[in-house]
Structure 1
């Protein structure tokens, strides 16, 4: 929490985790850098606690995994080498967007932990369901990372996924 939040005993305390890369599922063959190394670790933020009068209350991102030990996840990442102002920064792997992390227990997309609770692929599809065409995430719930890699290989810039 910020100094001011600590003084007021009120604010938000982010949760910071170190995650290990167990497998690289897919990498763009035209990428300018190599994919992350299996066994390497990355720093991630997921949820945290709201603090009011010194009492901590867990907070999780709606419709997003909390990243709990014992669960597996898929994450779409990119290598960031420049800061928001364009200056060069030490390279680090960043999530591709707000929905870049997917539950992946037992090698099944959409199976595992979301919002701190266990979900099955069928339930995960309904959590993620937004009006409009099904997203790749929704289409692949219940399938393997191999199906994801196949879909990414088949995708062309500026087109919808298969």
Structure 2
């Protein structure tokens, strides 16, 4: 995920958080693992509502907007650094980055880009107040270290890989769909069916159709709950993509969805890309984050703004041929230009790098497994990872 999209996601989740909380292991019919929590009740989890860009519940959603469906185990996580403003106030949101090992690929979309050998995903993080962190979860699995998941992934226009939505992040511990971690809670297929039926935390995704319980099509989970990989393979290989989506497979998933519903995907502009730099956004970036974002800004800028943004991006990215005086001149020009052209009041000085606390990250290596050689979709069966 790009710096800009990660910041926007963090701010959106924080703003959209609800006062609903659940307890790890306390869901209907759930089972509790001593390793899941250091206390009997486990940590609370704040359930947050979010507007998703893509539908992700049904088999047709998966084959229309996904590139690959995989079984993957989360092996490590790291906490990102809160903004300087949040650190000063002692409360806010901490986003989380996880790494995952693909154990098996079940389905590939014909013509899809190759899946990278290693997955790094930005996922739901924590709300914090002082030294206390409370996990936040949007609909779907949070992707916790040591657990295995059924994921449908896509590569987006910026080159980042991510699940297409909450419905495409299903628990898959012990080779069973619906068994494991979901919304920060340990579930079984039966208890997850109860959660799904109750509709306690549905995402406001644009389905393009009536999503009432009586008319909504069966979800992937409805079809394969309690089953294993081969059932998923059969389901997806027998499912046809949306015809308009299929006609637009050359587009990234968001633009493809826009073509299906007859809208225009929003286009990035010089001003929209620079929006996270505005002081009202509350975002303070590290040098590396600032360099990455300025590269995107430079690509959409014109004239002198493009030149200065390129110069400052190179400086922040460690280009030693750019002098401090040149960087200062670039900052001054861009600060004025963004205020005049976009109405943004920006700071182009990076935040100091904070030393992470020992609890800011954790690494757990999942046990090795020997997946069965099943495959599907439009390419021969294979395994990776």
Partners of 1:93 and 1:124 lie apart in 2 by: 26
Find the partner of 1:50 among 127, 131, 137: 127
Larger deviation, residues 2-11 vs 59-68 = 59-68
Which has the larger Rg?
2
Structure with the larger RCO, 1 or 2 (CA within 8 Å, 6+ apart): 2
- By how many angstroms is 1:31 displaced? 2.3
Find the partner of 1:33 among 99, 106, 113: 113
Does the alignment pair 1:151 with 2:235? yes
1:102-160 Cα deviation digits (max 9, x unpaired): 1001111101111222211111122223524431222211111211111111111239x
Partners of 1:66 and 1:157 lie apart in 2 by: 27
**Cα-Cα RMSD:** 2.0
SS in 2 for 1:99: helix
Task: Provide structure 1 residue ranges, at least 5 long, that are not aligned to the other structure.
Answer: 84-90
Partners of 2:194 and 2:168 lie apart in 1 by: 17
SS in 2 for 1:77: strand
Task: Provide structure 2 residue ranges, at least 5 long, that are not aligned to the other structure.
Answer: 1-81, 200-212, 244-385
Q: Which residue of 2 aligns with 1:118?
A: 186
Relative to its length, the structure with more helix (as a share) is 2
**Does the C-alpha gap of structure 1 residues 58 and 95 become closer, same or farther in structure 2, counting only changes over 3 Å?**
same
TM norm structure 1: 0.79
8 Å contact kept, 2:139–2:166: no
Partners of 2:241 and 2:144 lie apart in 1 by: 34
Relative to its length, the structure with more strand (as a share) is 1
8 Å contact kept, 1:63–1:127: no
Partners of 1:47 and 1:108 lie apart in 2 by: 23
Number of aligned residues: 146
1:36-87 Cα deviation digits (max 9, x unpaired): 25xx3211233322122x132322314422222221101100122x23xxxx
